[in-house]
Amino acid sequence: MPIVQFTPFSSLVQPGFWHELTSLKIDVLRLSDEALPITGSYSVGRSINDRETGNEILLGCNLSVGPESFDKSAHPPSGAFLAKGHFKNYNTIEEFKAADKSVLFNQEAEKIWESIIAKRETSSLSDFLLITYADLKKYKYYYWFAFPAFAAKPAWEIDEPGWKLASDELTNESLSSIHAQLRATPLPFFLVRSGVEIAPVESYSTFFADVPPAEQTIGFVDPSASPTSPGWPLRNLLAYLHALYPTTSSSVRVLCWRDAEVPAAGAPWKSRFGVVHAAPPAADAQTKPSAVGWEKNPQGKLAPRVADLAPMMDPTRLADQAVDLNLKLMRWRILPALDLEKISSTRCLLLGAGTLGCYVARTLMGWGVRDITLVDSGRVSFSNPVRQPLFEFEDCLEGGKPKAQCAAARMKKIFPGINATGHTLAIPMPGHPVPPALVDQAREEVKRLEALIDAHDAVFLLMDSRESRWLPTVISAAKGKIVLNAALGFDTFLVMRHGVRASKVREGASQLGCYYCNDIVAPADSLTDRTLDEMCTVTRPGLASLAASTAVELLASVLQHPDGVHAGAPPPNSDPSQLVGAGVLGLVPHQLRGFLAQFRNLHIVGAAYGRCTGCSESVLAAYETQGFDMILQALNDDKYLPHLTGLDKLYEEGQKALEEVDWDVDEGGEDDF
């Protein structure tokens, strides 16, 4: 008699499975290669008809895995049955290739056999194993499925006439009853008594007690559509019966259930029926037989398969995932507590799209920041592209493109997933009076600047002049924004963060100063009557990138500190290991002054000044109550800010003190030496 041929499982991996694996690898597994539970599903075998030829085309005996396979609480799709498995991902392709496949397979087969002998359960008969290696840079996934199935010795044989339609053995009423019961209580493996009643296979002894063998049928949900070969789950079901009931399972009536729906009138049932038999095992029935089940690749060889998703994926999405990859790798070994989402979700406003602005923008992109807005009033000139990495020669032609919009467009070319916008805007400055005819224009510029600052979380002051930083400093302080300041000399730079306003300082903390707190003079016109070398930012070429990177890293440190913008500044030259409450990224200094000639950075802590023209409560209160009128007065009257803050009284007190000094002038005609 013919030996029973079984149709092996064929893996069907949904694309979403690989996307879920990518996230799992980067965010959870990292360097772990621990085996994890996984689930798959299979359903009844299906076939379709070719529209041109009318021939029946059999679909594969598929076990499917998808993005839900890693969810322990996931349920299989309607009409499908759950298969449990174990998943193991390797960190390198070398480890994947060198893995002892025999040991892994035998371990999985041993678990299935243990569930049969010790637990007498059928829930593990379709268990599987999946090993993978994910090349996340190229989006290639190497994988190999194993579906362990026990080999019968001697082999099972099929009685004549072989596998036939179930309707040739069971009545239409019986098949309809079985269908209704399986729909009410889905069972991947079941018993049929007298062609009518069904029960779980686990109740074999009691359910078939006093039932003639001719009325005992073993059923299973068959994922195969082949008319001559039942699906892979039958192998382990027969092994289960042979191991636990060797005396009554030498001949088995098998129902291969393949009907998801009751057939239409006149259409046949798809389920198959056959009688198989095998002599009892020569050895002890409960001795684990050998097992087979590694899946063959498309070339028919016992080797892994490869899923190459790169050609299928949207290039923009590929870039989006690749940008985050290197950042997320930081959390694998070095900084597990790094909160990348807090950085990437921070909306950054860059005031100035020159050398500093271009380098700050590029470094923010490197940190995964997705929302960046640039503001500048200038156009790209021929001297810019070699120093400002977001511009090219073509941007200088025909008078030059607007800097802010040009830089934003270039950032989108570098990374299409970024939300970069540019605004051409001249920021009103103290010491630069506004003529009456231009007041409305100045009012509109202030309104636009306020709206931009309001819509962002962090503001970078990257302009060329001291006075241009005043208005953003005031508005940002009033709105409670994070402010980073970067300024360049020839071979020196200043990078600092502004402290919060006095009314927001936490109890027991010291208020950190802003850019203007070290000055006792109000910002004034520093642009008029300058020579060419004073009009251009003359610095050593490498200085801007150092200052810009330092400013962005300072922002990252602030965001990762548990106190955020309220983080206290460490004393100068502190040892990070000796500090209590330091952030994930270490120190969060107040000011950094760099000296390129000495290749040295100096930490400085500057306290807030009560008469500061940028962040003192008197200035902020005047801005909050008077709005544009206060700003206009500060722009047009160089005495307004000193009077508002009390600096004018400081000048008077100083002058009075000088006048009261009794200078001891020696009027002698001869020297003492």
* Residues belonging to the active site: 536
Contact 116, 239 (CB under 8 A): yes
Rounded Cα gap, residues 225 and 45, in angstroms: 4
Residue 338 burial by CB count (10 A; 0-12/13-18/19+): exposed, middle or buried? middle
Distances (CA, A) of 595 to 472, 484, 491, 545, 603: 27, 19, 6, 14, 12
Residue 61 burial by CB count (10 A; 0-12/13-18/19+): exposed, middle or buried? buried
Contact 3, 157 (CB under 8 A): yes
Cβ-Cβ contacts under 8 Å for 577 (sequence gap 6 or more): none
Half-sphere exposure of 292 (CA within 13 A, CB side): 10
Rounded Cα gap, residues 33 and 167, in angstroms: 49
3-state secondary structure of 419: strand
∠ CA 407-492-380, rounded to 5°: 20
Rounded Cα gap, residues 495 and 549, in angstroms: 10
Query: Using omega within 30 degrees of 0 as the cis cutoff, is the peptide bond preceding 154 cis?
Result: yes
Ramachandran region of residue 394, left (φ > 0), alpha (ψ -120 to 50) or beta?
alpha
User: Terminal CA-to-CA distance of the chain, rounded, Å?
Assistant: 132
Cβ-Cβ contacts under 8 Å for 224 (sequence gap 6 or more): 6, 7, 45, 61, 230, 231, 232, 256, 258
Nearest Cα neighbor of 63 from 78, 86, 79, 80 is 80
Helix (H) or strand (E) holding 553: helix 543-560
